[in-house]
Amino acid sequence: MALPRRPTAAVPHGRLARLARFGGMAGGIAGGMIAEGARQWATGQKPTVAGLLLTPANALRVTQQLANLRGAAMKMGQLLSMDSGDFLPPELAEIMGALRADATPMPPAQLQAVLAKSWGKDWRRQFERFDVRPIAAASIGQVHRARTRDGRDLAIKVQYPGVRDSIDSDVDNVATLIRMSGLVPATLDVAPMLAEAKRQLHEEADYAREGECLAEFGRLLADAPDYRVPRFHADLSGRDVLAMDFVAGVAIETLVDAPQAERDRVMTLMIALCLREMFEFRLMQTDPNFANYRHDPATGRLVLLDFGATRAFSAAMIGDYAALLRAGMDGDAAGARDAMLAIGLFDTAVPAKHQAAIATMFDTAFAPLRADGLFDFTDNRIAASVRDEGIGIAADRDFWHIPPIDALFLQRKFAGLFLLGSRLGAKVDMAALLAPYRPA
């Protein structure tokens, strides 16, 4: 099913063209700050820079421009919209959440140019049908359905032009906007995180690499009939185009209206897959975006679509997480502290009061997982307690600590699973799922 008809927009793909968009966005934000500051002064309020930046009008400006830029700029905005819910007011989080919806498709002429570059000017001769209207449009590329002359029913991802060339500058420009917001302490060294963001986005923009990961997960899950990984078609794939089987399915979040038993089963499959990725494969698709998963109502299978953010983990790190799992299941505070130190979630330079607070937050999160029976993802008391404890730690900005990048990717995946479980209102026997991976 194609996206509803709506206007297309060419992707700005020159460095200067994209910089101009950022410049226009910054100018609009500055103008909005002046107007809002004047309004606050007139009403007797004392405005702050952060308060003037974080307004609904400015959030809307940022969202619209990032959506039009697509590429790394939109991808960074999506990550912020998923991870900043505890820091942004609800109305701002809702506006930023629009970035998780479909992007604006590129116009047919731009699509034609990308495909001609990848397949040659006579590329249409290979197809019995190629739907110009995409069935999905995301931050890095859009997806088209096609049928080849030899009868293959395909979903073909086509990358927006210039995405790879703009990654580094886009990340730097978005980072500048984040620094301007005042949400991140000026003393915090975010350079390693930005470097890793660029590396990860370059990998996601390499469709040849994603094709290899798609094929690898097809092999790894060949013994798991509850999952469906589309077959990779190497003859029509490259750095800018990725061809795979078209697999029917519905958005996983539409299961909110499904019977409780089906929601519980699907969420159990999601968590079981994450545990296998982590402890058996040591290879994980780390992007928690709901759009990466579909549900096939005809078979009940979980369909896995996107492997651009696939990441390998060292045996040492997974061993440390296994030790943390054992400590959490045993209620062993000292063991949990040692495991968290080994992982790098904090270090010995962190004051004792913060170490104790982190340990308390961890125990709060693990307590319900130790209990027999079903874990109810709709019980918001646990999430609220962990959130409040985390905000209390984060409020002491002099002691902010960035964990190792691998740990951040794992934590992001865990958080995404929790969000999905909450959205579905699922109930899962977590103790039973975790038990096989708890070391003796």
Point out the residues that are catalytic: 287
**Residue 233 in contact with residue 394, Cβ under 8 Å?**
no
Q: 290 vs 189, 204, 430, CA distance in Å?
A: 31, 17, 21
* Rounded CA separation 387/384 (Å): 5
Structural contact between residues 33 and 52, judged by C-beta atoms closer than 8 angstroms: yes
Q: Would you tell me how many other CB atoms lie within 10 Å of the CB of residue 177?
A: 20
Q: Output the DSSP codes for 256-304.
A: GGS-HHHHHHHHHHHHHHHHIIIIIISEEE----GGGEEE-TTT-PEEE
Amino acid letter for position 244: M
Residue type, 111: L
Structure token digits, residue 405: 């990048």
Burial (CB count within 10 angstroms: exposed 0-12, middle 13-18, buried 19+), residue 238: middle
- C-alpha to C-alpha distance for 258 and 270, rounded to whole angstroms: 16
